[in-house]
Structure 1
Amino acid sequence: MSSALDFTHDPAAQSWVASAQAEGSDFPLQNLPWARFRRSRHEDWRIGVGIGTELLDLAEALRRGRWSAAEQALLDPLARGDLKALMAQPAAARRQLRQALFAALQAGSRQQAQLEACLRPQAAVEFTLPCEVGDYTDFYAGVHHATAVGKLFRPDHPLLPNYLWVPIGYHGRASSLTVSDTPIRRPWGQRKGPDDAQPVFAPSQRIDFELELGLWVAQGNALGQPIPIHEAQEHLFGVSLLNDWSARDIQPWEYQPLGPFLAKSFATTLSPWIVTWEALAPFRCALHRPADAPAPLPYLHDAADAMSGALDLHLEVDLQPQGGRAQRISQSNAKHLVWTPAQLITHHASNGCNLRPGDLLGTGTISGPQPEQAGSLLELTLGGKQALALEGGLNRRFLEDGDTLALRARAERAGAAGLGFGACSARVLPAHPVS
């Protein structure tokens, strides 16, 4: 397991980049998340590292900095915008580059004079997805979300019999993944109410968000070769915020018998930042499953993963009506997931499915046990039956055109430097006219 702490987690370490020391900074020296960016439309995409409010341009850093031959080899594809090349490297090589960047950005570094010219203000660049995603799988690992939604449809038996035995998931649409701040269009689709004689084709009236984390696959596995649970963390590159937009009135009509389709595939929003699995080492925690949950089958159980394979991340959801201010509507925590990231990786590959560098796994909606910890409007409004009150006399059952929905995450623990994930937000636009 790649869970050991090293000098890059020292909470006393500071950077020569002044903004990295700001109270509550998402990107202190101990974080160093990855992103793909460009300064103008006339420039090629390249990879950068977040530090405070700045971005270290790795194309310039490779040219100006002092790096070992091994470090240069790892930086070269990043300078050309290829993050998958680093994802495909063994975990030891990924840690080596993290340590080199940490040393280069640390206060007192001999690299400061060379690298100061390689910083770019994050607010002045354009971001895109960290890499092109070949495959996207969305899981359903939030047990409180699954229970709350199940109660809406099956009050006596909210969890289906397989739920606590097998990680549930479906294959999503990689082409409609979009980076934060990309507006989404209200989708068209078929919907049918219980008393309607036939379905209608119309814009969805029940647009919803889902508070999730995105797990990025590092080196993959050969077709037919499973990934053992005790090795699965080595196959995790990092974590992003993810909003799995959902059309709740399209979903119930189309999902039977094969599962989610157009109600999910119209858009999924990701933060541009990947916080590495190594950076999250101080914030890993024990997996907490319901008291009546069966023990995982042996292929999904590893004692070390059960003790420190889950994540303690505080999650928040803000809703901003058009012309209004952002309001907090929910708070939750990633520790409410019923499976660890390693278990999701292992199960996905258990039948020999070949995962590849840059593949993305959604965790599923992360709700807590309390009503105010719900990770979707479906839960917050009891399926649209109870309006959510907002400031200024406004209310929402589901999202309206012009609403902006933002997700945030923060990791905090005594004895560790706190870190964040950047924002994951998007505004809902009206449906496109259909002739």
Structure 2
Amino acid sequence: MEASGQRLSGVEGSQHGHHLRDRAFSLTVALSTVFALGFIAEIVAASRFIHLTGLQGLVIIYPLGGLGLILVAFAQVTWIDRIDRQKAFVRVALGYGVVFIIALVLIANPSERLSIIGTGLACILAEQMNFLLPLIVWAMLGDLFNAAESRSVFPWVITWRYAGQFVGLVIASFAPLLLTQLDIPLYTLLIACPIGLIALAIFLPRSLKGRALNQSHGEQENIQESVKSAWDFVGGVKAFRAIFITSSLVFVAGSALEGTFLSQSADWAKGSEAKVEILYGSTLLFVFIICWILQRSAVTKTMEKLDIPGSLALLPIATLIGGVIIVAGVQVDLLGVMLIGIVAWRVPWWSIDDVARRAAMALVPDQRRARVSFIVDLVPYGIGLITAGGILGIARAFDAPIIAPALAAVFALAAIPASRVAIRSWADALLSPHLKRRKRLAER
């Protein structure tokens, strides 16, 4: 009788899981497509930009990209929680699609200066595509699921997001082999971005008809009031404040490591844009494969064992390890060693850290979730890019590439105590009046 009851419970759990996945399907497709387009844009644009400008270009484009992320995020927090999420997604997707067309026109211009400007614009757009659009989609997913449900369905969403990443990475990594044979410029791959973004702007609202997402609360706020509202939440919950500090330090370190790897890859490629793109894309493809394996075998178990703050604490440690490895790689001048360091930083960022962040955001009330997500997720990355640009500039000024990963390791080390604060204060955070969904979490 007991065995029969267990089987019945298992069947009900399976049916519940299928129901959750059905509810998340259209948003999961949108998320996968966004990441496919975003990774094509990131790899193609970054490879072309580092090929055209070298490390000097990263010193300029990193701060511009970070500043752009922060400015756009602050602009969007004034309306992201006041209008339907679908409308927000449509406006952003169409806007990026139009700007991508402008970037392509500039890239194709025979003037090298205009081509560099267009490529830099594509780099900035790629960063925003990989952060802003996914945050809006994740906010919509947060509307559909409470914190307990998110622990069940979000790992599945992440797994299918990997499918989109896989498509984008494979295309960006191996298309140069064909395009160079056909004598077609590598930047033509970027044409997929405006086409895909416009298609998503049409597809997603239709697929979400009848779904219960957030409703506009209609409050008219200026940018100062909106930012203050979001920051009051982050500042009022000690654990979230610690997560913000940890993220800022980690993304400074990770961006500096990424810039070091890209500049060293350009030196290794000896003037071949195709080689840079193939190497960078293949590296991220390898990272993806590891993340997919972990997602299938270890992420959910790790989340259950360490909970949200413990899972988030893994990235600073991994980034520190990656920084030490890249320092060694620069010292012995072996790109393969540096590649291992990038893998050490990227794998936890794309896997356990991402799932834990999404689960944490599910605890935030509907009317604040998107803007808080912008503050906690996006602003630290913008800070990371701006600061990493300065770090890379110092390395270039002293003609000492080893300075960048060494300073990155210092920032990663500083993030570890902050992550411990988040762990220690998490239990108190769940009792905070700011987290209106805390009761749902307790019901799981």
**TM-score (ref. length: structure 2):** 0.27
For CA contacts below 8 A with separation 6 or more, give which structure has more relative contact order. 2
Greater helix content: 2
**TM-score (ref. length: structure 1):** 0.27
